[in-house]
Structure 1
Amino acid sequence: MANGASTSKVTLMDVDVDGAGPTQPQPTHIEPSSIWRRPVGYVYSQQMLAHFKQEGHEEQPHRISRIYDALLKAGCIDSMTRIDIRPALKEEVTLVHSEDHWNKIIAFQFLTDQQIADSANFYEHLSLYVCQGTTLAARLSCGGVIEACLAVAQGRVAKSFAIVRPPGHHAEPEEHSGFCFLNNVAVAARVVQQATNIKKIMILDWDIHHGNGTHRAFIDDPSVLYISLHRFDGGIFYPGGPLGGMASCGEGAGLGFSVNVPWPESGMTDADYLHAFQRIVMPIAMEFAPELVIISAGFDAADGDNLGECHVSPAGYSHMTHMLASLAGGKLVVALEGGYNLDSISASAEAVARVILGGAPDALGPMVATEAGTETVYLVAQEQSKYWKSVDPKACLPKEEVEDLAHTIPDLLKAHRQYYLYTEHDMMSIPLLTPELEKAFSSQIMCTSDVFEQDTLVVLVHEFGNLRTELMNLATCDLNIEKSYLIDFSKQIMNWVRSMNYSLIDINLYPKANAPANAPMHKRYHYKARDDLERNVLCYVWDNFIQLSGASRVVLIGHGPGCKTLVDVMDMRTASVKRLVKAVVQVVGTTPSLTVPGADDEELISWYDEHGYAVLSSAHPDMHPNLLKKKKFRRFGRCDPFDEPQSYRVIMTAFPEIRAFIRQKLDDDLARPGPSNTA
């Protein structure tokens, strides 16, 4: 390795006994390059080989020497400019790590052989090994990434490649683990923020393992965007735990600035990674607009790596690098992390180096992301769309390969309800004469057989009940079918209505899809003018059944989203509503916002104030004390809050009050003198 030896001007004498090092970094030397463009730099030193284990280990010294040799053989080293390496300084490391942690790293160089042997089991528990050369190697690895980043940030080179070890992204502020001692990338990012005008930094971590140390270092910091693509396997793949899950998005001011793409299994491919880049990584990166991009470039997702067990090719890495190079005006640093198959990491690093030198990424053939990959990207998009406007979950919806064999949950619930109403209450479907309404609501408008015989008619307007599910696996969202069930809030209402010998019309306003049957399943429930459809069907039922039923006393009960449509129809059929309706109950629960009829009709406002009753959760936004004081709230009629957090529990708790309210209004109507049912 004669060529490698000449790449570093640092010797063991560069580290003084107490480990503090010089107070300032040594001057960085940049060799001349073409006047037409800034050079591309690299960092490497054979002295990082001093960290080793006698009996061999995955994180072996030849990881970096093989990469260097591969780049040298390919001509990349000759086309790049050497950036002098140096040990990281205490004042730099403690921008991320504690002083105690720094002292632990410094102490390794003073260990005896017996102390190393005695502590082997302890460090094995942390997925580490140590030796006297660990201190220098760890400080050089961290200092090398610092210099690579400063050279780019200060404009001395366009891009840089830090060929360093040991890796760093598992090193947390207080602890070293997972082959990592100092968090090279995190420390370098902090140094750049302090030493230059660059403040917004993006760290893209494509190592197969989640970079828990980097994530934790910036978990509450909005100035650093951390994105990690890694194997998660439900939280059991190293380093394990919930921090690498898709819902772990940062804390406090940093909420939304931590992005995890947690693969649920091994076997992920170029197509999966590039799909995630196109749908998640690049949209978020462009919205964030970093001033510097640092890649935590572990190559253990590469095809052939036994720890990662995935199949990313050198071409795949080159395409990801090419996309990231388009950000931050091209300011890009590649810092080596993991990767333990020497052939894989050498070929992958060479592909990346060719791209940062200005070459085009290697060609890729036709490919399709796996089912696990597309599903993961879709779920991540749903989570990240809370924080990033550019992330569109609809664009990430996976293609269903079983669409022709599948029934949607809404369709199954509608079929169940139709069967239940028929068998339990002898209810029948109301025919809908217009093709549009028949297509959208067939078998969803049901009435009892005595609808034209009873004097009192109850009209129940709703969507679905509450589907309660238990997940077998949080990572894949698989349902435990045996422990999932439908809570039908309307059962007690219908049982009471029938016990009182009232007739009943049940209106399920959740329309069927108007897309073609062969359309992708995820498009079948995107409705056009859904509000108009719901108003039209309710007006149709009002005009052709409710008014013609012969009932002189009508009770309207709306639930959830059905309340708004009910109010709209009351505005559209004001005269007949005031004549026939004796009670209006809105069971709003926790959503949506409470609406009332009569925006400009004082008579209708006064009528509703007498006949209306709203039931809400005490947690509903409309129950805020400041809103209760406003004049508009006086139009809501009687309005009662209930201390229940869920809509179905609100109606269960409030049902005695609902029943008493309806009975009172019907009794009041009977007690009025003169002809019944007059306005």
Structure 2
Amino acid sequence: MQSSMQVVEESDPMVIDSVEPSAPQSTMTAHAYPPSSEPDVGFVYDTEMTLHCSPDGHPEAPERILRIWKALVSGHYISRAKVIPTRQVLEHEALLVHSQKLWDKVEAIQYMTQPQFLDSEEHYEQLSLYICAATTLTARLSCGGVIEACLAVARGELSKTFAVVRPPGHHAEPEEHMGFCFFNNVAVAARVVQNLTPLKKILILDWDVHHGNGTQRAFNSDPSVLFISLHRHDGGDFYPYGPFGDLDSCGEGLGLGYSVNIPWPENGMGDADYIHAFQKVIMPIATEFDPELVIISAGFDAAEGDDLGECLVTPVGYAHMTYMLAGLAGGRLAVALEGGYNLDSITKSALAVTEIIMGGAPPEMGPMVASEAGARTVWLVARQQSQYWKSLNARACEPEGLPCAAASYSSYKTVVPTEANSPPLPTQEILKLHRQHYMYSEHGMMEVPLVSAELEQRFSGQVICSPDVFQCETLVFVVHEFGNLRVEMSASVMRDAQLERANLIEFSKDLVTWVKAEGYSLLDVNLFPKPNGSILRPKTKSIRALRQEVITYVWDNYVMLSSGRNIVLVGHGPACQQLMDLIDMRETSVVESVRSVIQVVGHWPPCLPSRPENLKWYRCHSFLALGCDHSIRRKVQEVEWHGHVLDVDEDRSVALFAKALPDIKRFVKAQLSCLK
């Protein structure tokens, strides 16, 4: 088969038109190859892919690929490579992954009238999409471009390619388009490669900050494609939301073990975390799988400076990851642009990847240590995946000092709602709603309204109080994350939603019974936020800042305005951190009124006030309930900062709280009796 690719010289109009639509002709000197030397790297780009745009502005904008292409041209990369002609994906190719219904929906967009565009705007916004007259063309070009980039490598015409395309594709599922994506470019390309070339074993590595839900669904039961994704998950509170993409989403049927998810629990993940994941999990699994082709879903929204991703990966980090992947599959590597919305960040990151595929070596990184959250996540993934991959040694990944049954960033089953087309509610939300209903209906608890729309959106209905909250002399102020199933996960405990619901209700009954019997009032705050709803998360406060705002608002406007002069602070699991924040932020009023500080941490690390002057006071008033074999027991000096310490032979967090409650009651009564 004769190659249709071409070497781009300085006079090639494609390069000039591709820099800027109205740019003057370039005078850049092209790097000429001798007749015996042919470029081994190719690029895909087409100016028509810039036609998909929103008149109101949008992060997924034409400038994303314009800026990258301009930098590639001005950096003399294109003149040393081949430009692969782009084409539209064909219907039979798209149907290798997508349903006929989805194909028809995307095809129909090009025939819509302006009133139809306006009428459908809300529907597409719910899917995190926008459309215009050129959407069909650009979506087909983007997918077709990635197909050609992968075929060029699979056929041996080139060793490496980079498809600078848009719109992205990795969120597009077999039955639905979503999240800025219409067709799943890399998934369709992988299927075309398998159909048209001898290459069958394909690794798709997705480092976009969002989980490649569409790509995983396309191959979830297929052992011929190994899908690996590093992404923010935030316990299911980051787009595309929910359990899919958590560490125990490992595929199904014959594909079990061929989906590997590395779900970061928070923002701020950087080079050290990503390289640690590559060294400990990704490269061992990839080497054992031994792919014949590697495709990178190269989203650059985990790059430093991207407001949607809020992570810290640098161009050097992307270079090292590319370099490691380029050592697989005999060097056969195709890179396809996915997300990334800071123009400077995606341009620098794309250039760093290009340097590697053009034969460069990655720059030195210097000493690095993965963050605690990153190291813990990698260990949990290794522990999960080691049942499928012999090359993984989970014990070697265990961070020093981590509890043997540390909490997992685990998934939860989704519950399909009865209302058609409503988003599914995760089990965590069902559990929270069930407990709230129980507290309202059985114990007369009342909802505390919150002051801002942002707090209402994330915590509405989750701050409740007893009717006598302003009247009793002693007030029990409980903060927790009940319903957060990752708090319940341990090395030996499997989650069961029905059991968790029963535990929550039983403990809530015991808690209210104790408070009422002693004549106390109760303030109950659930700090596990509701999930956000769109990939376009507005730039807002961090979750920790929102939690601090909730707890200080309740303290200032309810606790301090009540008749209670004896306050009992009770924290459960990760919410204990907010108690320490409260102590530091409201030091004077806390020291004057708080008689007991209870932490029921299970296997989570216990917290201390950050201000040294509060440590002595805290030690005199604190009670700490630990799960069995907690790692802090091996750190004598840390234990000494906590006053009364109780070991509880229980792994499950809520059950541990219930077992510790009798000792908590005695401790509180003793602390209050000292005042008489």
TM-score relative to the length of structure 2: 0.57
Partner of 1:52: 53
Q: Any idea what the Cα deviations from partners look like across 1:244-275, whole Å, max 9, x if unmatched?
A: 11001000000000000000000001000000
Aligned residues: 410
Partner of 1:139: 140
Q: Any idea what the Cα deviations from partners look like across 1:457-495, whole Å, max 9, x if unmatched?
A: xxxxxxxxxxxxx9955179588585979xxxxxxxxxx
Partner of 1:389: 390
Q: Per-residue deviation at 1:6?
A: 1.1
Quote the Cα distance in structure 1 between the aligned partners of 2:489 and 2:77. Answer: 46
Structure 2 counterpart of 1:6, which letter?
Answer: M
Structure 2 counterpart of 1:90, which letter?
Answer: E
Structure 1 pair 149–34 and aligned structure 2 pair: CA distance change class (3 A): farther
Q: Per-residue deviation at 1:366?
A: 1.7
Quote the Cα distance in structure 2 between the aligned partners of 1:473 and 1:371. Answer: 20
Partner SS for 2:203: strand
- Whether the 8 Å CA contact 2:382–2:392 is kept in 1: the answer is yes
Over aligned residues, Cα RMSD in angstroms? 3.3
Q: Which has the higher contact order (CA 8 A, sep 6+)?
A: 2
Structure 1 counterpart of 2:207, which letter?
Answer: W
Q: Per-residue deviation at 1:35?
A: 3.6
Structure 2 counterpart of 1:339, which letter?
Answer: G
Q: Any idea what the Cα deviations from partners look like across 1:637-672, whole Å, max 9, x if unmatched?
A: xxxxxxxxxxxxxxxxxxxxxxxxxxxxxxxxxxxx
Q: Per-residue deviation at 1:400?
A: 2.7
Quote the Cα distance in structure 2 between the aligned partners of 1:252 and 1:118. Answer: 41
Structure 2 unaligned regions, length at least 5: 1-9, 19-31, 407-481, 491-571, 574-598, 604-627, 636-676
Structure 1 pair 243–253 and aligned structure 2 pair: CA distance change class (3 A): same
Q: Per-residue deviation at 1:60?
A: 0.3
Partner of 2:242: 241
Partner of 2:278: 277
Partner SS for 1:238: coil
Partner SS for 1:222: coil
Quote the Cα distance in structure 2 between the aligned partners of 1:49 and 1:291. Answer: 33
Identify which range, 144-153 or 390-399, moves more after superposition. Answer: 390-399
Structure 1 unaligned regions, length at least 5: 11-30, 409-469, 486-509, 519-679
Q: Which has the larger radius of gyration?
A: 1
**1:360 has 2:361 as partner:** yes
Structure 2 counterpart of 1:284, which letter?
Answer: I
- Whether the 8 Å CA contact 1:9–1:84 is kept in 2: the answer is no
Quote the Cα distance in structure 2 between the aligned partners of 1:224 and 1:184. Answer: 15
Identity across the alignment (%): 58
Partner of 1:104: 105
Quote the Cα distance in structure 2 between the aligned partners of 1:335 and 1:385. Answer: 29
Quote the Cα distance in structure 1 between the aligned partners of 2:33 and 2:105. Answer: 40
Quote the Cα distance in structure 2 between the aligned partners of 1:169 and 1:262. Answer: 16
**Correspondence list, 1:506-517, <5 A:** none
Q: Any idea what the Cα deviations from partners look like across 1:428-450, whole Å, max 9, x if unmatched?
A: xxxxxxxxxxxxxxxxxxxxxxx
Partner of 1:43: 44
Partner of 2:373: 372
**1:192 has 2:193 as partner:** yes
User: Which aligned runs of 4 or more in structure 1 are off by greater than 3 angstroms?
Assistant: 2-5, 7-10, 31-38, 470-473, 475-485
Structure 1 pair 484–73 and aligned structure 2 pair: CA distance change class (3 A): closer
Partner of 1:305: 306
- Whether the 8 Å CA contact 1:300–1:308 is kept in 2: the answer is yes
Quote the Cα distance in structure 2 between the aligned partners of 1:322 and 1:329. Answer: 13
Structure 1 pair 45–476 and aligned structure 2 pair: CA distance change class (3 A): farther
- Whether the 8 Å CA contact 1:232–1:265 is kept in 2: the answer is yes
**1:350 has 2:351 as partner:** yes
**1:224 has 2:236 as partner:** no
Structure 2 counterpart of 1:147, which letter?
Answer: E
1:474 to 483, 486, 492: 486
Q: Any idea what the Cα deviations from partners look like across 1:480-536, whole Å, max 9, x if unmatched?
A: 585979xxxxxxxxxxxxxxxxxxxxxxxx99x9xxx89xxxxxxxxxxxxxxxxxx
- Whether the 8 Å CA contact 1:210–1:238 is kept in 2: the answer is yes
- Whether the 8 Å CA contact 1:40–1:357 is kept in 2: the answer is yes
Partner of 2:14: 6
Quote the Cα distance in structure 2 between the aligned partners of 1:46 and 1:103. Answer: 25
Quote the Cα distance in structure 1 between the aligned partners of 2:12 and 2:168. Answer: 19
**1:206 has 2:207 as partner:** yes
Structure 2 counterpart of 1:385, which letter?
Answer: S
Q: Per-residue deviation at 1:32?
A: 7.8
Q: Per-residue deviation at 1:76?
A: 1.2
Partner SS for 2:110: helix
Partner SS for 1:225: strand
Quote the Cα distance in structure 2 between the aligned partners of 1:38 and 1:318. Answer: 21
- Whether the 8 Å CA contact 1:165–1:337 is kept in 2: the answer is yes
Partner SS for 1:319: helix
Quote the Cα distance in structure 2 between the aligned partners of 1:34 and 1:261. Answer: 46
